[in-house]
Structures are given as structure tokens and as C-alpha cells.
Structure 1
Amino acid sequence: MDVVASRGFLSEFAGDVVALGVLEPEEKERLPELHESAKRIDSIVGGVLKSSVEAKEFTGKLGSICVYRVKEIPARIVLLVGLGKRSAFEDDVIRQAAGKACCAARELNAKRMAFCVDSVCVGGVDAERAGRLLTEGAILGLYSFEAYKSEKEEKQLKELHLLTSGDAKAVMNGAEKGEIIASSANIVREICNDPANYATPKKIADIAVETARRYGFKCKVLEKKDIEMEKMGGILSVSSGSAQPPLFVVLEYNGAGKGEKPYAIIGKGITFDSGGISLKPSQNMDKMKFDKAGACAVLGIFVAVSRMKMKINLVGLMPLTENLPSGSAARPGDIIKTRSGKTVEIISTDAEGRVILADAIDYAKTFGPRAIIDLATLTGACVVALGYECSGLMGNDEKLLAEIEKAGIRSGEKVWRLPMWKEYNEYNKSDVADIKNVGPSGGAGGTIAGGKFLESFVPKDVPWAHIDIAGTAWKEQAKPYFALGATGVGVRLLTAFFEEFK
């Protein structure tokens, strides 16, 4: 879909659909106030919108949408989209409005649609920010995974015009950034939605190589023999039950010159997680194709950073493997040696993500990073603790964590910090090895235990953050700008972080 910003009025737009946002009144007895662009339309179409509002057919409630078929203006349909109350307004409301409007327009078989930018410039949101948010919501909302459907969706919205009475150039600047962010997230969603019989470690590594070539960053793939030479015992242990050999993808982007230390981002890349010998229940095991979401996000972040030409240096690490049971698979009770030399007692083979990340974190130190950030669908306990609305955040550096929290608000990919007090160090203590891969029996503090395990492999004096995306990596219920399936979580969050963090 093409996005274009220009000065103009909805009433004059020669397309199929025009849309605008409407706030819900703070007091229930009051009626919504229509934006000037709606009033202009209403003066031409005979007061249809005002009559509808007065009849309380449309109240401006968040997520609501009302469709009006008209004949007196070039567009055949007007959409009013509810923004909710001003007191509860936040940036993400604009993404939701765009997603709802664009999906509704597509269902109405529209090809060209216009949205009034000025109608969502609420609460300090300027033209550039509105252009970015509308574009993000539109592109994210229109995505659907159709790779294996014989009959593709025929209805396609081809153009989104962002109309303003103000600074169209600012709107377009924001739209260009929004397109980069959302398209990068959609790349992640496409890979992450791919089932495990197609999205093998080899296929994902091949996609990484091609993506790096296309967008101008470096990509190196370590094969099994290289992983063995690096003595990555964690990855070798987890992969031992699979016929698919493990791979380790290394990405590099240099936008700040050779003298600048890089950030290192690491993503868990379990292309399918059966739990191994500690086999998961069959119910919902199909969702374990999403256990590669962290690694996919790393690739998407690189696309966004390179397209935005950010003045940073960045290293991305993607350990890729399946976790399957077989006669050669790792067993509960095994003791393995990781790349760092630290030994790990395997209590559960279903706590495999932290084991491959341990090797990746240790490998990251070879780049002398200024900070390490990992993304992983690490623990079901995080879903229990935080649900599906935010990711868990842990780490060892206050400034780093605080900036990621701020980026979560700006990006709409919210995080919530969990404690990492020294008392939790005991949770992973092993009687027979340096550390064990799960916390106390019964799962107490499971998310924190996972974070503490990873922390023990972080190089001394290196700021580090761990983002548990177990509850946010995919949707089982459609949302205003998310279809079912992978969300691409992490791309918006860390791109926003890199835009601001100094």
C-alpha cells in the first residue's frame, strides 16, 4: 500500500473512502464534537453525520466505527472512528484508529482512502507524529498471513492519503518513518508465522543473508562445525534431538564509525519447541512455531535501523535450532559446558531458550558491546504474571532499563519491570554444576529465575536488559491493528529505543 501526505479536504478527495477520528465526550450526557472536516462534509451531504451523532448511533467510544454511504461528495463512504475520551488518549489510539479504518475500508472493497490527520492531533500529538502513527497502524492492521492459502484475499487497499490543512511535509516525514517501522515488523511477522516444516534454521538463515544483502548490512552464518569450534555447548545440547543442524547468525550494522562500541541485540531462535524430552502437552503445541520470535525480531530491527540510517553500531545474534525429543536428545539431569566455561545442570529440557542464549550472550562479549539486549519468548510464567498486554523487563543497569521503558510507551510495545534482587540468585543454584536451568520446583518466580540465569552469563560491567516476550509475540484474538498470529514485537520497541538512547 502506498502512503501519500498532502494538503486538502476530505470533502474533495477523489477516492472511495474518507475517514476521521472523533473524541468521546467526557460527560455521558454530552454529544461528540465533530471535527471541522466532518462539518464540511456534513454541510454538503445534508447533515447526515450530525443527525447520526444526535441519535447516539455514534458516540466516539474507543474502537467504534460508523459507516455512512453518501453521494454528494467524490468519495462514496465516510467513516467515523472513535478515539475514546481525551483524558485517556494516548499515541496508540491513533494506531488503533488507522488500523480499524483501513481494515473497514478494505472490507468495503475500497482501493483509495483518505484519513484526516488533523482529527487525531490530540494531546500534544503534532503533524509528524500523527503521520507516523497513522501509517504504522494502517500497515500493521492490513497485514495478513496468506503464504499457504490457495485463494488469496482479493480485496486490497492500494492507497492511503493523509490529508491535512497544515504541514504536509511534516506529515510525510512521519509517514516515511512509520512505513519503515511497520514494514520491518511485518517482515518479522511473515517469518514468525511460517510453520516449522518450512521455517527451519537453514531457511531463516538464508532469509537473513538475503535481507542483509538487500538492506546493506553484514551477515555471517556459523554452521554446526563452527558452533562446535566456539564450544557453544548450550546450543549443541538443545539441538541434539533434531535432524536439523543448528545455525548461528551474526549480523553487523555500522552507522557510527569504527571507534563507536556497538549495541548487541540477541534473539531466541527456537524454530519449533516441543519441550524436548520434557515434552509439552499437545494442546497448543502448534503455537511453538512462534518460539523463534526473538530471533526474527532481531532481523526486523536491523532492517529498520539500516533503512533509517541510524548513527549507531549494532550487532545482532540469532541462535537457531529446534528442540525435539529423540534418542540423541538432551536429557533431564545432563550437565553441559557452555561457551563461557560455566557448567549447567539441565533440570528441564523445556527450559532450553535460556541455554542457547547463554552461549549467545557470551559470544557477544567478543564485540566489546556498550550494552546487550536480548529478546526471548522465555517463560510461560511471564504470561501468568503480566498477561498479553506487555513484555517483562529485567536487567542490571538503571539507565538502560528506564530508557527501554520510555521506548515502550512511545512505541506502543509496553514493558513492565520485574525485580532482580540478589535474593533471587539462589533460585538457580545447583548441587552438581555451576548453575541449573530452572528455578524452584513449582515454578515460583519463574520469569525472574530465567532472567537471573541469563544474568550470570553477562560480561562484567556491561549494561544488559532481558525482554521476555512470551505474552506479546503472537495474538490469539484479533486486535485493532493486529490480525491473529505473530505481532513482530520488539521491532517498534527497540527501534524507538535506538532513536533516542544516548
Structure 2
Amino acid sequence: MRVKPDFRKFHEVDAEALCVSLFEGEGLEDALLRELDQRLRGVLAAALTSGEVKGKFGETLYVPTMGALAASRVLFVGAGKRSEFTFDTIRQVAGTAARFLRQRGIRSMAILRRSTLELSRSAQAAVEGVLLGLFDPGTYKTQEKEERTIEEVRLVAEGESEAEMQRGIERGLILAKATNFARNLVNEPASVLTPLELARRAEDMAARYGLDIEVLDEARMKELGMGALLGVARGSDEPARLIVLRYIPEGDEAFLRRLPTIALLGKGITFDSGGISLKPADGMEQMKYDMAGGAAVLGALRAIAQLRPKIKVLGLVPATENMPSGRAQKPGDILRTMSGKTVEVINTDAEGRLILADAITYARQLGAQTIVDVATLTGACVVALGSVYAAIFGNDQSLVERVIAAGREAGEKLWPMPLDPEYREQLKSPIADLKNVGGRKAGAITAAYFLKEFAEETPWAHLDIAGTAWLEENKPYLASGPTGMGVRTLAHFVCQEAQRGSPEHS
């Protein structure tokens, strides 16, 4: 797809369709809308008067121009209230327009700027919206497969800065493509995306974008004492892997020594049957997406490698299946983690926290000064927050607030949850240092508290994306299936931390 800035007057833009945001309750007070309506011979005024379109979010009005504009058609898209218009609104309006137009065979579209929000970030949001909206989860369809695509997008902003527009376009392309890369990983069936295949794709991505990568096999994990990760892996015939990516910016040794190191961790359970504590059959097919946190980390590292922030980044993805077998771990087993702490396994379906425990310890050993993990960790989080917000926990309030701010920038909502020490009581075991579950009460919180035990004094935040990693039904601006939740938040967070903590700013 080609994305270009366009600085001509709207009526000179020769795309197949011109997309125009329409605010709720808006009339023809705006000079641009008034001129557009005059050129369309009153079509917009008639639609507004009749109530056919009111500017409510997601509404559409599709009008042929009959030669009145260089564009063949105009698509009006409801943007909701002007007072609530944000960069995320731009993202969603652009996604709605792209999906609407693709269904009608349009190959070139133009999006008209109608706000005073910062130009570069507006362009970025529009590009992200189009690419995210056009993602097609029907990878394996042979019938009724969507073959149509939009080949060109123009962002129309008469008289604006070309440098700012181009900067936003390039950043939007990087982040959206990285998000769709993660979505493609999550979308793969577990028979295709085994832990070995996930590691292979990580290697391909690292080679393409100039990242260092090391993939630890089970023998190496055993040497390191990763008993929790290997305990989960015991039930599967597919060997586990620990993917370790490194991003190091350009600079001499003295400069690099002064840079902080952030570790991004992602749960990589490529299929979660629950193990011996077997899940119900209903909905189990969706457990291929239990590696969405790992996919988010891979996608974020891909974006970071192109954005080139001045900060060192580790990306760790512990990858395994959670399966029942004669060798599988059982309730009542005791695991010795890499940290030396022991864990009594109460429920083998609480496996994500086990593999992340060893990954957190290893990240600390590798020198991480800040850790952010992302995981489809608990059903309790879905019950608490549904599919609107992901939960965020942490042992450092400032870190939590900075990650929330990065999520807001990315259009990904995070809600802070408590980690009071009283919740630790639910994890007490009579035989080991910890239990891997804390009972029915506060399930998402006790899962996060379990991870907190391994982060120890290192600033750490945990994103539980169980409710937001997968979309059950199509939205006007996004297809059902994997969302790529976390990719853009992590990338924004790393870039913000680089600006905040680089030697140039200290």
C-alpha cells in the first residue's frame, strides 16, 4: 500500500473516494463543509436536514460526485462529538472508512483533515487506522476470501507541513505493520505455530530488522534452573524455547554504558489446553491465542528496531504448549524456579505465571533495570474489565502511570489494579514458598502478585490482556480476531523512556 501526503484543495484530489469526518450535531457552519455541499448540489444539507446522517460515531453516508469533484465519490463518516475527538477517533474513523470502501471495491482513498490536533500524530493515527482496519484474519479461507485491497491512501491537508506529515506517515506505517505482524502470529493455528516455529519466525524478523537474537533450548534452560518453565513444558511433545531478543542503539561503548535497559516480556503459550487441569471444550479453540503477549513483544521489538530510540531493550518470550500427558506436571507437584523459590502447583491451568516467573528472573540476570510483561493471564481479568480495558499492575507507581500514558498515546486502554500486601496471604502454601493460584477471589490480582514475587525490587509492570487480545465480533473499524494489543503501547513506552532517560536529557 502506498501512503502519500496531499496538499491540494479537497476538490482537486483525484482519488476514487474522498473520506470526510462529520461531527455530531454539525451543520454547514464550517466553510469547508459548506463548499463541499455546494459542489455536491445540496446532498449533504438534505441528509443532515432529514436526519439520514447526524454525525454519530460510525455513521456513513456515501455519495457519488457526478464530476463535481476530482474524486469519484465522497464518504462521510460520523466522528461523534467534536469535544470528544481524539487521535484514537481519527484511528477509528480511518479504519471505518477503509473497511467500508474495500467492501465496495475502491482501490484509492483520500482522508481529509478536519481537526486542529497535532499534524504528525494525526497523520500517524490515520495511517494506523487504515492498516489495522484492513487486516484480514481469513488466512486459510479458500472460498469467500476477501481479495480486494486498497492500493493507495492520501492524507489531504492543504497548506500543512510536508515534513510533519511524512514523519507521521512513516511512524504510522511502522507501528501498524508491526501490530499486524503480531496479529498474524496470534491468528495461526497451534499446529502451525509451535514453540519452534514461533522461535523461527522471531529469528527471521530479527535478521530482517537488525536485532540480536538467542534462542534457548530445553537443555540450556535446565542448566539455568528454569524449573517453572520446564515444568509447564513437560506435558507437550513440542519442545519449549525461550526467545531472547536484543535491541542496542548506535553509539560508542561509553555512550551505551550510560543507557538504561528495559525488558519486555510476553507469555508465549502456543496452545493452552489447561494441562491435567483440563479446560472445558467450549471455546478451547481460542487457546491458540494464549501467546498473544509473546506476539506483542515480538511486534514491539520489530517496531523499536525501526524507530531507533536511544535505549537498550531486551525482549523475552518463553514459548511452550500446556498439554496433558503421562509426563505432564500434576496438581500437588513442587517446582523449583530459576530464582530458587519453590512453587506448589495447585492448578496446571495457571501456567502463564510459571513461565513468566523464570523469564522475569532471567531478565533481571541479563541486566534489566525495568521490566514490563504482557500476558493473556487470567479469565478473572475478563470478568473484571471485559474487552474494553486491559489491567495493569506494578510495584512502582510512576512506572505504571508511564505505561498507562503510553497506552493512551497508542489508543490502548489500561486500568490500574491494586497489589496490596494482604493479597499475598492467598498464595501461601504449607509445603512450598508459594502456591500458583490464590483461590477464586481476586484471581487477576493474585496472579499479578505471584509475578511480583519474582520481580522483587526491580521496577516492574504487568499487563493482563486476556480480555483485549481477541475481538469476538467485527467492529466498523476492526475485524474480529486478534487485535495486536500491546504492540503499540510497548513501542510508545520504550520511545518515551528513551526521551526521558537518555544521557542527552539527563
Q: TM-score range by the shorter chain?
A: over 0.9
**TM-superposed deviation, 1:88:** 2.4
Matched with 1:164 is 157
Change (3 A) 1:61 1:34: farther
2:16 — aligned with what? Answer: 16
* Residues 297 and 490 in structure 2, CA contact (< 8 A), matched pair in contact too: no
- 1:55-70 alignment, distance < 5 Å: 55-70=50-65
5+ residue gaps, structure 1? 26-30
Task: Tell me the amino acid that sits aligned with residue 5 of structure 2.
Answer: A
Residue type of the partner of 2:399? L
Cα distance, 1:498 vs structure 2: 1.8
Paired letter, 2:122: A
Q: TM-score, normalised by structure 2?
A: 0.94
- Post-superposition Cα deviations, 1:55-97, rounded to whole Å, max 9, x if no partner, equal 2211100111111122122322111111111232222111110
Matched, 1:191 2:189: no
Q: In the TM superposition, what is the alpha-carbon distance from 1:40 to its structure 2 partner?
A: 3.0
Within the alignment, does 1:473 sit opposite 2:465 as a pair?
no
2: CA distance, partners of 1:471 / 1:365 = 28
| TM-score, scaled relative to structure 1 | 0.95
Does the CA contact (< 8 Å) of 1:22 and 1:33 recur in 2? no
- 1:258 is aligned to 2:260: no
In the alignment of these two chains, the number of paired residues is 490
The answer for the alignment partner of 1:139 in structure 2 is 131
Give, in angstroms, the shift of residue 261 of structure 1.
2.8
1:425 aligned partner? 424
Pairing of 1:61-80 with structure 2 (within 5 A): 61-72=56-67, 73-80=69-76
| Counterpart Cα distance in 1 of 2:157 and 2:420 | 50
SS at match of 2:74: strand
Q: CA deviation at 1:400?
A: 0.5
Distance of 1:9 and 1:483 partners within structure 2: 32
Counterpart of 2:503 in structure 1 is none
Is the contact made by 1:99 and 1:481 (CA closer than 8 Å) also made in structure 2? yes
Secondary structure at the counterpart of residue 285 of structure 2: helix
Match of 2:287 in 1: 288
CA distance in structure 2 between the aligned counterparts of 1:261 and 1:89, rounded to whole angstroms? 36
Distance (whole Å) between structure 1 residues aligned to residue 82 and residue 40 of structure 2: 28
Counterpart of 2:494 (choices 491, 495, 498) is 498
- The question of 1:205 aligning with 2:202 is answered no
Measured after TM superposition, the shift of residue 420 of structure 1 is 0.7
CA offset at residue 482 of structure 1?
2.0
3-state SS of 1:181 partner: helix
Is 2:262–2:494's contact at 8 Å kept on the other side of the alignment? no
For residue 81 of structure 2, the aligned residue among 65, 81, 85 is 85
Match for 2:207: what amino acid? R
Match in the other structure for 1:28:
none
Task: Tell me how large the CA RMSD over aligned residues is.
Answer: 1.3
Look up the SS of the partner of 1:457 in the other structure: helix
| Structure 2: runs of 5+ lacking an equivalent | 501-506
Shift of 1:36: 4.0
The worse-fitting range, judged by mean Cα deviation, of 362-371 and 244-253 is 362-371
Offset at residue 35 of structure 1 (A): 4.9
Corresponding residue for residue 118 of structure 2: 126
Aligned-partner residue type, residue 131 of structure 1: A
Q: Alignment identity in percent? A: 42
CA-CA distance at 1:382 after TM superposition: 0.3
Give the C-alpha shift of residue 407 in structure 1: 1.3
The residue aligned with 1:437 is 436
* Mapped pair 1:404 → 2:396: no
**CA displacement 1:268-317 (0-9 Å, x = unmatched):** 00000000000001000011001000111110000111111111100010
Which residue does 1:455 correspond to in 2?
Answer: 452
Matched, 1:40 2:38: no
Say whether the 8 Å CA contact 1:180–1:307 is kept in structure 2.
yes
Any conservation in 1 of the 2:437–2:446 contact (CA below 8 Å)? Answer: yes
How much does 1:326 deviate?
0.8
Q: 2:213 is matched with which residue?
A: 219
